[in-house]
Amino acid sequence: MWNAFKAFAFKGNVLELAIAVVIGAAFGKIVSSLVENIITPLIGLIMGGVDFSGLAITVGNANVTYGVFIQSIIDFVIVAFAIFMFVRLLDKFKRKEEVKLEEGPTIDSKEELLIEIRDLLKQQNTRS
């Protein structure tokens, strides 16, 4: 059982997934800070200082802060859009890298000439 677990835990995909989760959590903190400290105040400034987090209804002894919920939805949309743009940027770089790999290595004229000479020498050796 230990060997099966070790084989599973150290597979490339599992390790890559673990690394992605850790990096994703760190990136999430960065994006959340960007949204909370920069984008949301700018949106509030553009909208005339509107702050949803203060909206609340008191029902009996319960304080229903629906403004915080609205603010969380706005934050989610902004974070999701930021992550979408980041993934799109990564895909763009990945596609460029794949195109370079498909093209293969470039051969200059000297290497091409040497390849032709090698092939001619092989042909002459097979005839003899």
Structure tokens that stand for 10 in this block? 């150290």
Distance (Å, rounded) from C-alpha 6 to C-alpha 3?
Answer: 5
Q: Which domains are seen in the chain, by residue range?
A: 2-127 (1.10.1200.120)
The model's pTM? 0.48
Write out the chain's pLDDT in tens, 128 residues.
878 777 776 666 777 788 888 888 888 888 778 877 887 778 778 877 767 777 888 888 888 888 888 888 887 887 788 778 888 988 888 887 777 666 666 778 888 888 888 988 888 888 76
The reported pLDDT for the residue numbered 3 is 83
